[in-house]
Chains A and B, each alone.
Chain A
Amino acid sequence: MKKADVVTGVVLLVLSGYVIREAWLMPPSATFGPGSGFLPFWLGVLLAALAVILLGTAWRRKATEKDRTSPFPGTKALMAIGSVLGGLAAYIVLLEILGFLADTFLYVAFLLGVVEREKWSITLLVAASTTAGLYLIFQVLLGITLPSNMFGF
């Protein structure tokens, strides 16, 4: 965790520098009170101070047993997480092209069949019923128009 704290500290410090700069460039107040850059500026300063404290404490304390193991999981689990997220990104991009029904069916099938390596029969059954259930809740019961493809479904 020591290394993680140092890395997050640096990232937060860079972020706070950016926020301070942006806030500085905002137009000044037109009234007696503070303007639109006031709160972001001081939040940036506060964040910078907190990042310094984080870095300082991480620097000074001795590495514990917990520090030696990375907080993040091994390659295999990271791959699974990456494919869930990548699949979600693809799902979002394809939603208005494939339409809700086909897109959702494919994404659930991908999650179960490829990521979780479930049997194909179960995968298809769950994908179909999840898609049907969501369609029923959102389109039929709640009356929300879900995206459809060029063929109209």
Chain B
Amino acid sequence: MDIFHNIILGFQVASSWENLLFCFIGTLIGTLIGVLPGIGPTTGVAILIPITFGMNATTAIITMCGVYYGAMYGGSTTSILLNVPGESSSVMTTLDGYQMAKNGRPGPALGMAALSSFIAGTFAVLMLTLIAPVLANYAVSFGPPEYFALTFMGLTMVTSLGGDSPLKGIISGVLGLIFACVGIDAISGVARFTYDNMNLLDGVGFIGMAVGLFAASEVLVNIESPMQQIFTEAKLNFLSLFPNLQDWKDSFGAIWRGSVIGFFVGVLPGAGATISSFMAYAVEKKVSKHPEKFGTGVIEGVAAPEGANNSAAGGAMVPLLTLGIPGSGTTAVMLGALLIHGLRPGPLLFSTHPDFVWGLIASMYIGNVMLVIQNMPMIGLWVRLLKVPYKVLMPLIITISAVGVFATDNNIFDMWVMLFFGVIGYVMRKLDYPPAPMVLALVLGPMVEMSLRQSLTISHGNMAIFFTRPISGTLTILALLSLFAPLFRILWSKYRRGKMAAA
């Protein structure tokens, strides 16, 4: 059994004291980020890249993954107790979670959120263990056209599925691709858009851009709308957190459906944790015998979205590790971090760095256990942390970002890049342009260009190469469909309206 062999290898890597320690620190920071409003998982991971720079690649990514799924846990705490979702993925949890807290049952709501997250998170890692190597094996035979089609699809799905306006998502992505062109062209050695600036020969610094777009702009947005201080009166002790037998009976189905929905939505590029929690809640309401009770504090309404968003975080690791295609802002930042550590995610990663891949997967099992242990007895502490005023956090976030960006290359220029993208990110947020496609495009840009030009060199400039090979053909068509999906929707509604007017 190959898979058992691999898993054992993984646990050997993950259980070194160093990896255990940083898995613990990562999940702890993640929970903190999830609890504090005004700082999201993408920001957290972006700020952490410079700090994890000196570690070996496995430890660094274990820490970042810990932050990622830790934030999913932490987000639920404030949703339930204060009706303030820490992340967009826990918005659905507020509907029934806050009602449960108001009805005097905050304990079981918090407990069920943590346990449902644990079960779903473990399910997702299990699925990752089973699916990822198969997919990676299959993808080894990919050539440049397949890679182009794949990266193209990753980009179009993220741009068209994320955000309210697909047009603005696409503009953000195209701008990111243009930024990715800056620097020396890897094929011909021509310097592009560098203005004789030495610092730009290597291209736009990824860390400066990611930290600027996410961390710095988030701070700027928060300055203008000062956050209210929020408190809760809820009294919590350890035993009151455990859901009773009836709660378990009610939630059993919700947890499993949430896990499955979350995982598959998470695998799709562009969808991710937020959409999966919406879907899981909607499905639960549909299959429920008493849909009218949703929104008044039923425990299924907490278990389903919380399970789904954690499962989606695990699912998102599948395309990232096997194909090198990140499905969300957070995983795009992680891909950038992997590249900095000299690891190129993709099908070959499983055969060239099995210790890394399996160590990471094993650490996710361990991290999930750590999170339950951290969250159950320490919830009281997390709630108290909310009293730290944002005033104090703001300078800390700015300076840790600025110094971190500097520290990766000891280069002041990267700090200017951060400042520049901080302003760009602020304007984008204000005008409803999603920043994630831009970061994704910067990370994928070199790969898109390389595979595009290699393919066209193979075919002597004939575009048909992307359509005649079966895999790249399917992927390209899927990408085009997702790109034009919003257009079809508009045409369809016009057609229906026209028909109704005629009738």
Contacts and interface: CB of A to CB of B under 8 A. Distances in A.
Task: Enumerate the 10 nearest inter-chain pairs by beta-carbon distance, A residue then B residue, closest first.
Answer: A33-B457, A77-B224, A36-B185, A36-B190, A111-B395, A73-B224, A108-B395, A144-B407, A71-B430, A92-B415
B249 to A, nearest CB: 45
A46 interface: yes
Interface stretch (B173-181, B286-294, B296-304, B363-371): B173-181
Contacts of A102: none
Contact of B403 (A46, A77, A146): A146
A124 interface: no
A107 B419 contact: no
Given A81-B223, A88-B398, A47 B403 contact: no
B453 A107 contact: no
Contacts of B187: 36
A91 to B, nearest CB: 7
Interface of B: 51, 53-54, 167, 170-171, 174-175, 177-178, 181, 185, 187-188, 190, 192-193, 216, 219-220, 223-225, 391-392, 394-396, 398-400, 402-404, 406-407, 410, 412, 415-416, 419, 422-423, 426, 430-432, 448-449, 452-454, 456-458, 460-461
Nearest to A118: B391
Interface in A134-153: 134, 137-138, 142-146
Interface of A: 1, 4, 8, 12, 19, 22, 26-27, 29-36, 38-40, 43-44, 46-47, 50-51, 53-54, 57, 71-73, 77-78, 80-81, 84-85, 88-89, 91-92, 95-96, 100, 104, 107-108, 111-112, 115-116, 118, 126-127, 130, 134, 137-138, 142-146
Contacts of A44: 178
Contacts of A47: 171, 174-175, 178
Contacts of A38: 453
B454 A33 contact: yes
Contact of A126 (B181, B225, B392): B392
A107 B400 CA distance: 12
A97 B461 CA distance: 53
B419 A89 contact: yes
Contacts of A8: 431
Nearest to A92: B415
B414 to A, nearest CB: 10
Contacts of B188: 27, 29-30, 35-36
Contacts of B225: 73, 77
Contacts of A80: 223-224
A33 B461 contact: yes
A108 B399 contact: yes
B468 to A, nearest CB: 17
B278 to A, nearest CB: 23
Contact of A92 (B167, B171, B224, B412): B412
15 contacts: A22-B193, A34-B457, A35-B188, A40-B192, A43-B178, A46-B174, A47-B171, A50-B171, A71-B430, A104-B399, A118-B391, A138-B407, A142-B53, A142-B407, A143-B54
Given A54-B167, A142-B51, A26 B406 contact: no
B171 A107 contact: no
Given A50-B174, A126-B395, A43 B181 contact: yes
Given A34-B461, A39-B449, 12 more contacts: A31-B457, A39-B177, A39-B453, A40-B193, A77-B225, A85-B423, A88-B402, A91-B402, A92-B419, A96-B412, A108-B399, A144-B410
A116 B390 CA distance: 10
B76 to A, nearest CB: 28
A54 B431 CA distance: 13
Contacts of A146: 403, 406-407
B177 A43 contact: yes
B456 A26 contact: no
A1 B1 CA distance: 59
Contacts of A100: 403
A134 B403 contact: yes
A39 B419 contact: no
Contacts of A84: 219-220, 223, 398
B224 to A, nearest CB: 4
Contacts of B415: 92, 95
A33 B456 contact: yes
Given A47-B178, A53-B167, A27 B190 contact: yes
A130 B399 CA distance: 8
